[in-house]
Structure 1
Amino acid sequence: MSKKVIIFDFDGTLADTFDALVVVTNRLALEFGYPPTTPEELPKIRNLSSREIIKKSGVPIFKIPFFLKKIREYLHKDILNLNPIPGIKEALLQLKHEGYCLGILTSNSEENVNLFLKKHGIEDLFSFIYSETSLFSKDKSIKKLIKKNHLNSEEVIYVGDETRDIEASKKINIKVIAVSWGFNSREILTKHNPDSLIQQPSELIEVLGSLQQIVS
């Protein structure tokens, strides 16, 4: 059988960006016309899908690309101060050692991701980085990534921290592992029925092995 390909989301899955994103979105609140998020509201927000958050904010859909661009610009200033999710580096090293092909699909900029990976000495673990700008067309982005890198979709497993990661993967019929340490809560991730849901990076090895047996 050909080598398994693991595509990772970046923000919240590999990089611990949650607090930074809260700070950035609060900075942009006045400009885009939504109220800043208080610490008390964070648990509720983690239980909302991306579409529900956008609807709640009242930001018009046509402004979303500009909003994402601003977020990437702010994150660029702070990217070298951000850290990997605890335990993820060790898990990635193990996956690479076992022969998995690793890649990244992100709505962050490729420049930001490369700076982060180099800072933490893990740039050589990834075979490709693909940056997508649309918030709600992740399925199309995954398909483009698969085609561009000549991958077999049956050998691809996606790993992400949001409900939209699960939705996108299901749309194009690829396996998806949801992680509960990122943006969305375990509760709402469970409701979207990922193939697996894990609580810490060390679980990746065992879960990937199980999924590989299922599709073999």
Structure 2
Amino acid sequence: MSNKYLIFDFDGVIGDTWETVILAHIKKGNRSNRQEAIAEMNSYFSKKPHHTKTHSLSETELANEYKWTSEFGSIMHEIGVTLFDDFVKEIELLPTKYKAVVSSGSQNYVSPALAKTNINPTHILAFEDHHSKEEKIQLVAKDWDAELSEIYYFTDTLADIYELRDIISTNRLIGVSWGFCSKEQLLTELAEENILNSPSELAVKLK
């Protein structure tokens, strides 16, 4: 297991941010109540993102995405981000030195939250580093001198699966059942054996 190449999403996988995201949407003013915020989240995380490698956004629209995400991230940090502590502990116990976090969230809350752990990722890449998760994962793989076929990516959303399934092997796209998308949703794209039901299953999956 010491040579496993592991990349983790943050929100919904390491970060227990469901409630924080709801509050941040309302505080930023782009959604007026919990129901609207939840509807926005369910929509975003269940379809392919609009800011992928092959996006059709104009330069101005993309610049606005970066600005919005940074501002939203500052609000997230101000509200406060908690972690799935049991899963964090499982990641910390893994002997591999090849651990990274690739997120579509903002560095403004992702990095401070990870600084409270002993995961010690080689990379923490968020939206400010690149809008495309594909690009960020390819960068990590290059720095590790690893093939994309060797990379595991842990996610909680259909959005990630739709974006990454062309570069990450389907048996190495691993879902977690405690995040933004339900296990039932993940099962529409992932096999049962590729979904973690509890943090304790992580080490077993990687044997």
Residue 166 (structure 2) aligns with: 171
Residue 85 (structure 1) aligns with: 84
Residue 8 of structure 1 contacts residue 159 of structure 1 at CA under 8 Å; is this kept in 2? yes
Q: Report the 3-state secondary structure (helix = DSSP H, G, I; strand = E; otherwise coil) of the residue aligned with 1:122.
A: coil
Cα deviation 1:114-140 (Å, max 9, x = unaligned): 321233x4253x222122349973223
Matches within 5 A, 1:109-188: 109-110=106-107, 112-119=109-116, 121-124=117-120, 126-133=121-128, 137-174=132-169, 175-188=172-185
Residue 49 of structure 1 contacts residue 184 of structure 1 at CA under 8 Å; is this kept in 2? no
Task: Kindly state the Cα deviation for residue 47 of structure 1 after the two structures are TM-superposed.
Answer: 5.4
Q: Distance in 2 between matches of 1:179 and 1:2?
A: 22
Percent sequence identity over matched residues?
23
Residues 46, 111 of structure 1: alpha-carbon distance in 2 compared, 3 angstrom cutoff:
closer
Cα deviation 1:50-100 (Å, max 9, x = unaligned): 365989xxxxx735433322211112223xx4322141122112213xx35
Q: Report the 3-state secondary structure (helix = DSSP H, G, I; strand = E; otherwise coil) of the residue aligned with 1:142.
A: helix
Residues 167, 53 of structure 1: alpha-carbon distance in 2 compared, 3 angstrom cutoff:
closer
Residue 75 (structure 2) aligns with: 74
Residues 111, 72 of structure 1: alpha-carbon distance in 2 compared, 3 angstrom cutoff:
closer
Residue 163 of structure 1 contacts residue 184 of structure 1 at CA under 8 Å; is this kept in 2? yes
Q: TM-score, normalised by structure 2?
A: 0.76
Amino acid at match of 1:160: T
Residue 94 (structure 1) aligns with: 93
RMSD: 3.2
Residues 130, 110 of structure 1: alpha-carbon distance in 2 compared, 3 angstrom cutoff:
same
Residue 48 of structure 2 contacts residue 160 of structure 2 at CA under 8 Å; is this kept in 1? no
Q: TM-score, normalised by structure 1?
A: 0.74
> After the TM superposition, which segments of 4 or more aligned residues of structure 1 sit over 6 Å from their partners?
none
Task: Kindly state the Cα deviation for residue 107 of structure 1 after the two structures are TM-superposed.
Answer: 2.2
Flag structure 1 segments of 5+ consecutive residues without an equivalent: 56-60, 210-216
Flag structure 2 segments of 5+ consecutive residues without an equivalent: 51-56
